[in-house]
Copies of this chain bind each other. A is one copy, B any other.
Amino acid sequence: MGYACLMPVDRAQVLHSAAALLTRKSTATMDEVARAAGISRATLHRHFAGRDALVRALEDLGIRECEAALDRARLVEGRAEDALRRLIREIEPAAPLLAFLTTENQLFEGDAQNEGWTRLDTRMAELFRRGQEAGEFRIDLTPAWLCEALYGLVGSAAWSVQDGRVAAKDFSFMIAELLLGGVRRRVEP
């Protein structure tokens, strides 16, 4: 089988452009979302039954891309610091999507999809816990807070890049350096 038309709709591409738009304008119309994806409202509605379905699909994709990033980052291998750097690097493509989803907290209330986020949180928290046990990371910041902080920094960075305030190539560096070393100057590298 396979698609038969000139411009078969790439589901993931539509979802990514929708995330990019909705991150900037959370009240964007279905028509605006369609236009942003370069398709018509009718086609958008053929693939996603409604706005709810679209957001659910966005959440699905976000969870799957994050899990894939976590897999690629091999969080359990090597030093926790290196694993965290890998994670930040691998999660960069999903950053706009993640930025949108973290602001849509309304989704997180009372749905089964919460399980997906819980699994992600657990894996990330495990990385921070491992770093703490290995003596790499300080123990006075809880893994749960570090997870939230990572989400927040990824969102801020994605927004800054999208807005042109910082260079896209510095994405990983900025997050990793700030999260790992903080802003205070270190006497010895």
Which residues does A use to contact B, with CB under 8 Å?
23-27, 81, 84, 103-106, 109, 128, 131, 135-138, 140-142, 144-146, 148-149, 151-153, 155-157, 159-160, 163, 165-166, 170, 174, 177-188
Contact = CB atoms under 8 A, between A and B. Distances in A.
A36 to B, nearest CB: 14
The DSSP consensus for interface residues of chain A is: helix
> Chain copies in the assembly?
2
A141 B178 contact: yes
A27 B135 CA distance: 44
Given A138-B186, A165-B144, A184-B81, A106 B27 contact: yes
19 contacts: A24-B106, A26-B27, A26-B104, A27-B27, A81-B184, A105-B159, A137-B184, A138-B183, A138-B186, A140-B177, A142-B166, A148-B156, A148-B157, A148-B159, A152-B153, A180-B183, A180-B184, A182-B183, A182-B184
Of A27, A105, A159, A165, the most chain B CB neighbours within 10 A belong to A105
Contact of A105 (B24, B104, B142, B166): B24
A166 B145 contact: yes
Nearest to A108: B163
B26 A183 contact: no
A146 B138 CA distance: 21
A93 to B, nearest CB: 19
A164 to B, nearest CB: 11
Of A24, A160, A182, the most chain B CB neighbours within 10 A belong to A182
Contacts of A144: 160, 165-166
Given A144-B166, A156-B151, A184 B138 contact: yes
